[in-house]
Amino acid sequence: MTGVPDSPGADTPRAPLDAGVRALLDRWADEPAMFAGTAPGTTDGVVAARARFAAQMTDAGGLAPRAPEVRDAGGVAVRVHRPANVAVDTLVVFVHGGGWVLGGGDAYDAVATRLADDLGAVVAAVDYRPAPEHPFPGPLEDTMAAVRALLSEWPRYALVGDSAGANLCAVAALTLRDEGHPPVACLLVYPPPDFEGRYPSVAENAEGYWLTAADVKTCSRLYLAGHDPRGDVRLSPLRAPSLAGFPATIVATAGFDPLRDAGHAFADALAAAGVDARRREHPALVHGFYGFTAAVPAADAAVGALHAELAELIAR
């Protein structure tokens, strides 16, 4: 699904917020902010934030129709989702979002099962150890350990991640490119690819659209735990010395997302490096739409289109 430009200075007006998204946000209007009660350097409020996030994911995405197989890969827990009908022999490694802090366990089971069924592929969802208990580089190291272990069984694979998971997937793709085992394709949904840049959409969409600018700042600080991100491509893949050789990649963004412009910048940088990069904009949606498919018809349609395009890339 290709949307219209929605960044500042675009030649088309800013789209109105989708009515289904508005209804969902209104339903959650009285709930605390995503990272309410949490603070860098502590675990205060983290358990409550994780429970709140998981409940919202179930509310907006429904329950998974099948339970996954939970297994170990490289010392990391992975949740294996098998499709109703297998169509491809490519493994899809899924890395969940939640600001490197939220979203573990069964919170993304419905999302991963939908991915498996839409692609007809086995999906291995990496259940990395989250911050703040395991700050950077812990989640990245877990992701890399799991992917490397899975490669011994599935030499052909693709990477899919949303939000923080998209950041981890982008770094993993660069690392595995350099190791000679790149994925065949990536789907990065509203990625945060740059800890150093300042983007207009953070201020433009600072409040009122589920993920807030304050949330972005808080989860980043919880993940970094004092680490200086400057010059570290393990945090900012956009700033890698070269993006050439990155796999064919779909970068999906949402118009009402603080991370929108950073996602656009990454897609454009990939294209400038000669990568088959598909920038897919969803001007009327918000951060989180990848998991809102049971509650928001427009999100359901967007995810279906993204998965159909990914299926084409995997089949090449």
Tally of domains in the chain: 1
d(CA 291, CA 165) in angstroms, rounded, equals 13
* Residue 14: band (very low, low, confident or very high) from pLDDT cuts 50, 70, 90: confident
Q: In what order do the strands lie in the sheet with 157-162?
A: 69-73, 76-81, 123-126, 91-95, 157-162, 185-189, 248-256, 277-286
Q: With respect to residue 3, please indicate whether it lies within any of the assigned structural domains.
A: no
> Do the Cβ atoms of 299 and 290 come closer than 8 Å?
yes
Distance of CA 141 to the CA centre of its chain: 17
The predicted model scores a pTM of: 0.96
The identity of residue 221, as a single letter, is: R
> Do the Cβ atoms of 269 and 238 come closer than 8 Å?
yes
Model pLDDT for residues 120-136, shown as the tens digit of each residue: 999 999 999 999 999 99
Q: Are strands 123-126 and 91-95 parallel, antiparallel or unpaired?
A: parallel
Is residue 7's pLDDT more than 70?
Answer: no
Task: Write phi, then psi, for 31 (nearest 5 degrees).
Answer: -85, 155
Q: Give the mean model confidence (pLDDT) for residues 25-33.
A: 95
> Do the Cβ atoms of 126 and 100 come closer than 8 Å?
no
Model pLDDT for residues 54-65, shown as the tens digit of each residue: 999 999 999 999
d(CA 113, CA 106) in angstroms, rounded, equals 11
Q: With respect to residue 6, please indicate whether it lies within any of the assigned structural domains.
A: no
Model pLDDT for residues 35-48, shown as the tens digit of each residue: 999 999 999 999 99
Q: With respect to residue 7, please indicate whether it lies within any of the assigned structural domains.
A: no
- Please list the alpha-helical segments (H only) found in 197-296: 200-204, 213-224, 260-272
d(CA 92, CA 264) in angstroms, rounded, equals 24
The whole-number pLDDT of residue 4 equals 39
d(CA 76, CA 195) in angstroms, rounded, equals 26
* CATH number where 191 lies: 3.40.50.1820
Is residue 12's pLDDT more than 90?
Answer: no
The whole-number pLDDT of residue 13 equals 65
Tell me which residue range forms the domain holding 160: 19-315
Average pLDDT of the residues of the chain: 95
Strand-pair partners of 278: 250
Model pLDDT for residues 165-209, shown as the tens digit of each residue: 999 999 999 999 999 999 999 999 999 999 999 999 999 999 999
Q: With respect to residue 8, please indicate whether it lies within any of the assigned structural domains.
A: no
Q: With respect to residue 108, please indicate whether it lies within any of the assigned structural domains.
A: yes
Measured torsion, CA atoms of residues 18, 276, 200, 169, in degrees rounded to the nearest 10: 90
Q: With respect to residue 216, please indicate whether it lies within any of the assigned structural domains.
A: yes
Model pLDDT for residues 71-122, shown as the tens digit of each residue: 999 999 999 999 999 999 999 999 999 999 999 999 999 999 999 999 999 9
Model pLDDT for residues 307-316, shown as the tens digit of each residue: 999 999 999 8
> Do the Cβ atoms of 233 and 175 come closer than 8 Å?
no
The whole-number pLDDT of residue 42 equals 95
Answer whether the bond into residue 40 is a cis peptide, omega within 30°.
Answer: no
Residues with a catalytic annotation lie at: 163, 257, 287
